[in-house]
Amino acid sequence: MKRKKTPKKAAMPDFDFKEFTPEEDRIYTEAVTKYREAIAAGKTLKQAYESAAITDTALEKMIQADFLKIMIAERHFNQKQPLETIAKDLGVSMDLVKDTYGRMLQEIGVSAANQFGREFGTLNPDAPKTND
């Protein structure tokens, strides 16, 4: 009889949350506003993304990823819409919505753990205790 392998515990991924310059913040705000207007007009997510021209491709990808998270948060958590409905309404695959949803939950978990660590320190009993 073979022993079942116990899955290795996955390490929590690192996330780098970007600090925007004032110009990047302006671009971000304008793009999200245009995306929202396009979605409100019945456009797909791809069409919404085409409504704002952003020359910095890295910033554009970040804004687009954030916007999908915003849509999922507003529609799924606030309006209680099923993920399937969100995917259909936005004209994207269910896999993309599920993957983005999963990443959102990971980011929330990491942020909460980091905040807890800043406020209360480590839960590791073997960690050195400092009082400075």
Please provide the DSSP assignment of 66-110 as one string.
HHHHHHHIIIIIIS---HHHHHHHHT--HHHHHHHHHHHHHHHHH
Rounded CA separation 30/11 (Å): 36
For the entire predicted model, the pTM comes to 0.75
Q: Phi/psi at 97 (nearest 5 deg)?
A: -65, -45
Return the DSSP state at 127.
S
Q: Is residue 12 part of a domain?
A: no
Q: Is residue 57 part of a domain?
A: yes
Read off the pLDDT of residues 58-115 as tens digits, 9 standing for 90 and up.
Answer: 999 999 999 999 999 999 999 999 999 999 999 999 999 999 999 999 988 888 887 8
Read off the pLDDT of residues 23-43 as tens digits, 9 standing for 90 and up.
Answer: 999 999 999 999 999 999 999
Give the chain's radius of gyration (CA, Å). Answer: 20
- What pLDDT score does 114 carry? 78
Q: Is residue 8 part of a domain?
A: no
Q: Is residue 47 part of a domain?
A: yes
C-alpha separations of 23 from 27, 53, 121 in Å: 6, 15, 36
Domain extent at residue 76 = 22-120
Q: Is residue 132 part of a domain?
A: no
Number of domains composing the chain: 1
